[in-house]
Structure 1
């Protein structure tokens, strides 16, 4: 390598590493988005606990992925050897960016998957049970399915998903559907909130406490998604990669817009009102839809895909309520149902690198693994210490029972 080539490589290395770190920081900011969204959609008496869960799960994810998660997923030894500019011991060296940047970018994805669980089990799961599950989810369950997908390892030594035609560009299935699978396992064992469903089968609406916060959370997630999808290009310091990043950003944005408008119109036709919560979930549904393949559709296709996801999420939320599956924030519908839909759309615009059969096998593998292992962990926790707060604590609100303080003390009547 001559001196000019060496300088070009160093510049490319620096630019790609910087881009990777900035995108990782944007994805980390999504933790704030989930916190605000969930805090806005739960009742005031449960706000402190939901915020505690979100900030704690992020810290747990960072530690567990360092201790063992990254090694399980990619084979690198991080816990026993320091991460340096020279690389991560035992890991395959990236071509044009620092290994430490790769670890940082991957760890914020782990936290995103765990954040999905938080909202679905809100208002009735014990705080310490949730945090105990977070240890297992981020340290073992997610890294295992990640090793079969992005890690490229055979599933239980039998088959490689990539060879079967499975492709998930940024994680509609690997991150979002996985988080929803774990959430579904927890919700099924927990049961619905008190008063959510009547004896006659009716569904009682339980409004969130702060829709401005929920809207802020959605905008934060929308912005963070540019790092989520854009960072998954893995480079930006060449003409080809820069163009790819621009396409991914464009499609991510327009899919969210399509999802929001379609969900808003669907809610208006079904309920006769412009339902803000459905519109917010529609935007998120559009984002989840495009995440599996934001690099190949045209802008119009991305808008249409997002719009279909926005319509789908409205019907999914209604259907889950009819099945008495209580999800306070609609996480299972947004990330699970729409996550699967996003995977199935990939072959529409990228048939060369994926197939419908491969996408179905990959989705079944991810969902089956995460759901069954999560169900097992939650069931063991239920047997050992119980996973649900008491009826009186649920009525009073888990803020006082679990955290000892209220988010809005001035607005709570003294007893």
Structure 2
């Protein structure tokens, strides 16, 4: 038989790929395992007298007095260590609460969809946790916080040197992305950095799971897997850097005198607006479910299968929000957490009650699904301004959100004919934007001195600083434009790699067996 020349070529190419793969694995192993004494991986040296805003007392020529100096320095260093320890413990506990929100999202989305898709909907909410963590570990965390790793309250060691890639325009530097911390390598092998990673990872996971609601009941699981990596590695981290990582939106105050720059305490824009816009782009590209809209334009309701499940999930989300908002202080010693927690509760309940009243005022019955969305909308809206507003403002912000979520949901569903089974865009997108604008209006000047490098507390338009409102508006518009364009193109391109939508016959029969291989319910 004549030798196949292509076989030799393929064999040689395969050997080269194998050698390259082994080299990459070796480099990754070395980058993650080589120890560095500049970081504090044990935590023993994290937190010193400098974290109290003091310098060590200098030694004197008096031997007896030096004993006192040594004692003072020892006590002060211990106090500094305990201060950072409290911050790390508080941040970790808050992160654990936020992680539990994943269960809430799974229950809400599954309850609001059909029982023939239970395993599929639950499966996406489960897998986004693993996908998101790995993607964020690979490069998402580095892109987001690589330029601001020790500008926080968690005691980053001196060896953790942040580095932000910047461009210069109009005579100012614009931070674009971080360049330190890929794979959590040895350069960031530090207790403070790792704590920040955990807390920010579970925030990112909230963003990543939002589109699983808007695209539920027709999204190919393989396509979803690609999405989970993409949004956690690039989209969320890039916008997050601009707001929380020292990027250009956070510097609108320093560079252009617009308040304190774009301020978002816990993620109305960074988490919810990013997720909501991604959900909208995905719902547009994937199209409505079979039978959702008639040929004559009529809107057919496709009811969820388990309202108690959705309500339970909503309560779990509300509980987890106490990690989301108060935890964003990253400091257990920042007693503003009491104000943050109360404002969070009030806005959520304000959203619930205003949704109820709006339903009655428009001649409708109190649909439990809409009441749940009213609560969630209030929580989303208060997430940005929760630390900067009074309780009355929190109720007003939540109440507006409760009405806004119903109006936007009906407009998207009935007018735009965009099928969003759980109202993901109405809850997270519209109210993520409203939350940031609300901060620009209602921030009362009682908190935030020095935020984003600007002297003085954060004040909104109603308290004398119109620049803060414009900074919030710029941040919202930038998020909408950036995320929608990137995610719309992503969904179009990924559809060429693997179909974004399941076959129509599978959608009609239910996705549990065709996509997951198991039934969600035995019956």
TM-score if structure 2 supplies the norm length?
0.73
CA shift for structure 1 position 149: 1.0
CA shift for structure 1 position 217: 0.5
- Are residues 1:309 and 2:416 paired? no
CA deviations over 1:238-257 (Å, ceiling 9, x no partner): xxx12x00000000011000
Q: What's 2:519 paired with?
A: 406
Alignment of 1:44-63 (within 5 A): 44-63=115-134
Greater fraction of residues in helix: 1
Give the conservation status (yes or no) of the 8 Å contact 1:264–1:276.
no
CA shift for structure 1 position 270: 2.2
Q: What's 2:264 paired with?
A: 168
CA shift for structure 1 position 389: 0.6
CA deviations over 1:264-299 (Å, ceiling 9, x no partner): 221222243111000000000000110011012211
CA deviations over 1:7-35 (Å, ceiling 9, x no partner): 21121111111000000001101111100
User: Residues 329 and 49 (structure 1 numbering): CA distance in 2 closer, same or farther, change over 3 Å?
Assistant: same
Alignment of 1:11-410 (within 5 A): 11-75=82-146, 89-91=160-162, 98-154=192-248, 160-161=251-252, 163=254, 164=258, 165-237=261-333, 241-242=334-335, 244-322=336-414, 323-350=416-443, 352=459, 355-410=468-523
Cα distance between partner residues in 1 of 2:160 and 2:479: 28
CA deviations over 1:160-218 (Å, ceiling 9, x no partner): 44544311111101110000111111111111111111122211111101111100110
CA deviations over 1:113-145 (Å, ceiling 9, x no partner): 001111010001101101101111001111111
Cα distance between partner residues in 1 of 2:325 and 2:247: 23
Give the conservation status (yes or no) of the 8 Å contact 1:37–1:217.
yes
CA deviations over 1:206-239 (Å, ceiling 9, x no partner): 11011111001100000101110111112122xx
Gaps of 5+ in 2: 1-55, 57-72, 150-154, 164-186, 444-457, 461-466
Cα distance between partner residues in 2 of 1:61 and 1:10: 32
Cα distance between partner residues in 2 of 1:97 and 1:337: 37
User: Residues 357 and 264 (structure 1 numbering): CA distance in 2 closer, same or farther, change over 3 Å?
Assistant: same
Cα distance between partner residues in 2 of 1:88 and 1:294: 34
Cα distance between partner residues in 2 of 1:128 and 1:77: 35
Q: Please give the secondary structure, in 2, of the residue aligned with 1:318.
A: helix
Give the conservation status (yes or no) of the 8 Å contact 1:85–1:100.
no
Q: Please give the secondary structure, in 2, of the residue aligned with 1:355.
A: helix
Give the conservation status (yes or no) of the 8 Å contact 2:156–2:191.
no
Q: Please give the secondary structure, in 2, of the residue aligned with 1:98.
A: helix
Q: Which moved more, 1:333-342 or 1:365-374?
A: 365-374
CA shift for structure 1 position 356: 1.9
- Between 1 and 2, higher relative CO (CA 8 Å, sep ≥ 6) is seen in 1
Aligned residue pairs, count: 397
Q: Please give the secondary structure, in 2, of the residue aligned with 1:409.
A: coil
Cα distance between partner residues in 1 of 2:350 and 2:159: 41
CA shift for structure 1 position 59: 0.8
TM-score if structure 1 supplies the norm length?
0.91
